[in-house]
Structure 1
Amino acid sequence: MTDSNARQGVFAPPAQTADQQRMRSRHERAARAFSVTASGPEAWGWRGRTLGRRAGRWWLRLVSAPVDKRNARLWEGTAAADSALPRSVPRPRLHDVTEWTDDAIVYPAELSEYIAQPALQSGGPVLTGDVDLPRSWWGDLGSALAATATVPTDRESVRQNWVDRNFRRFLGIDPVRIRETTTGHADLHWANLSRAPLVMLDWETWGRVPVGYDLGLLHAYSLSAPATAARIRREFAHVLDTDAGRTGELVALAQLLQACSRGVHPALAPLIAHRAQELTHTPVPTP
């Protein structure tokens, strides 16, 4: 990630030139609304539905979606995190928000603190090589997750009904019961974590998750970097090596296998399937 607060280069601009122009013009409109000037490199999101750029000491991010697909819970996640999480959780602070509708498309925009230190992985959430991080960084991550866990919320990021519908298909086992939950980031991966000093990015999806889910995700995204994956298991054995932590990790693996079945992270798919098989002792087909 060469520019901060976004996964620079992860996704391409929209395929249609008209959509690129539409997003750029709406991004400029948001900049005028916030009285800032965006000058940094463009950072496009999934299928060109988001566009972020640096604007001086701020990061300006624009989202677009048809009105009938407005996702209030997702779009309010950053603001909700900003007000609910303790200051000890290192994250970009939100400065302002706005939203408007043009031609049946809704445009939420956020202006947040620009974070100078780069993310640990540019180009996507999957760690492509081992990272050498100081002991203090791992301690800071553990402290941040522990502080997040203390926050009460009715935001539910992982639901039992998803497990009930999908475990047999993706893991080949009966659905587990989620008996222990915690408040978590819910999208913990290497493009959302900065180098020291630690900052945790992208709080859109935060909420209640199974214990072990966040760490299970991070571990899964590290499987192609064995030394780092092993470090995660050592640092957080007190979570991952419990019955509740195993359940949370299985949920994370099943969700990633669903993503892999749709063509996401193809190189990681066999490693995730192998890890799932280690936990379930049941053959798991590679997507």
Structure 2
Amino acid sequence: MTWSVPSARAVDLRVEPVDDVLDRVERSLQLRVDRSTVIRKRRSVGGCTDRNTWVRVERRSLRRIAAQGSNGPEAAAALRNVAMPRWCAGLTWRDEREPVMWRADETEFVTGAPVGQAALVVEDPRLADSWWAELNLSLDALTAQTTPRIATPDTESITQELVETTIRPTFREVPNLLVDEWTSAHGDLTWANVMGPEFCIIDWEDWGTAPRGLDAATLWGNALAVPTLADRVWAERRPDLESRSGRLMALFVCAKIVGPYAHEADPRLKPAREKATRLVGELQSS
């Protein structure tokens, strides 16, 4: 017998009422969320607590849970030598009205701020050499560890099929899109998920196994509006990005920028087109 998982309606937590959700988290975890600090995103809300910790609450469909689970931040707590907030406690419950589950994670409160207020950056954040050193230490440590989880960039499980269906419509001239190396990855390493001035990686709900170079390519692609920053990412993560898998991941990210849903106002668009031309040539000759 084949079991089907019902679809959940699309919800944007930036506009959806969430007071009842936060009330439940406060009662269950026995804390108070400072409502003046709450940050609302499309899939999650978070805020400071009276324990000087941070609580992040995510709404996740049962379909996504069936594919990956819902305990990304808790599972990430077992990773070694990766700069991230210390995980404290978690809470999960099923929505009574919809095929979704809610997940709340209480973690260490991290000082500083995300390097980017959105996924990309449009001005050079002038990061210190020590920040880059910590980035390299953390990503090297992460890729050296294994997990049965599958990374879900943009909420989709990253598989060989996803790589091909993302790249092929835009770059048909690349003859071979087979990924030859898979490692552990954060899965959503945008500039909104790395902190500064002290380096730290936040939001671990999407982490898992992915093609080598996904994290570096994601950070690089979201820096393309600032050429010097993109060049620095490439130089720091050269072993990953200049592997065959890494070049595929760079093209995977470019395909999302320049493909069918390209936006002419996107400051990454022109440089992504230029970089993609180079990557296609390199992959054709490899």
Q: TM-score category by the smaller chain?
A: 0.7 to 0.9
Q: CA deviation at 1:167?
A: 2.0
Pairwise CA distance, 1:179? 0.4
Q: Report the counterpart of residue 159 of structure 1 in structure 2.
A: 159
Q: 1:127 aligns with which of 94, 102, 121?
A: 121
Whether the 8 Å CA contact 2:87–2:107 is kept in 1: the answer is yes
Provide the C-alpha distance between the structure 1 equivalents of 2:67 and 2:166, rounded to a whole number of angstroms: 25
Cα deviation 1:141-193 (Å, max 9, x = unaligned):
11100100111112222210112323221323345110012111111121111
User: Could you list the per-position Cα deviations for residues 36-86 of structure 1 after superposition, in whole angstroms to 9, with x for gaps in the alignment?
Assistant: 11114221121xx42211113111122235556656725211111112x00
Q: Matches of 2:262 and 2:92 in 1, distance apart? A: 31
**1:1-287 alignment to 2 at 5 Å?**
13-14=14-15, 19-20=16-17, 23-39=18-34, 40-46=36-42, 49-56=43-50, 57-65=52-60, 70=65, 73=68, 75-83=70-78, 85-86=79-80, 88-100=81-93, 101-104=95-98, 105-122=100-117, 124-157=118-151, 158-174=158-174, 175-257=176-258, 261=261, 266-281=266-281
Q: Distance between the aligned counterparts of 1:92 and 1:12, measured in 2? A: 23
Please list every run of 5 or more consecutive structure 2 residues that lacks an aligned counterpart in the other structure. Answer: 1-11, 152-157
Assess if the C-alpha contact under 8 Å between 2:13 and 2:41 holds in 1.
Answer: yes
Q: Provide, for residues 12-41 of structure 1, a one-character-per-residue CA deviation record: whole Å limited to 9, x for no partner.
A: 722xxxx31xx1111121111111111142
Q: Deviations over 1:108-143 (max 9, x none)?
A: 211111111111112x11011012122121111111
The one-letter code matched in structure 2 to 1:277 is T
**Cα distance between partner residues in 1 of 2:197 and 2:184:** 24
Equivalent pairs, count: 260
2:256–2:262 CA contact under 8 A, matched in 1: no
- Matches of 2:114 and 2:281, distance apart in 1: 35
**Residue in 2 aligned with 1:3?**
none
More helix by share: 1
Residue of structure 2 in register with 1:5 after alignment:
none
Which 5+ residue runs of structure 1 have no aligned equivalent? 1-10, 283-287
* Residue identity (%): 23
Q: Residue 26 of structure 1: SS of its match in structure 2?
A: helix
**Amino acid aligned to 2:97:** D
CA–CA separation in structure 2 for the residues paired with 1:181 and 1:264: 33
Distance 1:66 1:162 in 2: 20
4+ runs of 1 displaced by more than 4 Å?
A: 65-72, 255-258, 262-265
The answer to whether the 8 A contact 2:56-2:106 is kept is yes
Counterpart Cα distance in 1 of 2:67 and 2:54:
21
Aligned residue identity for 1:225: V
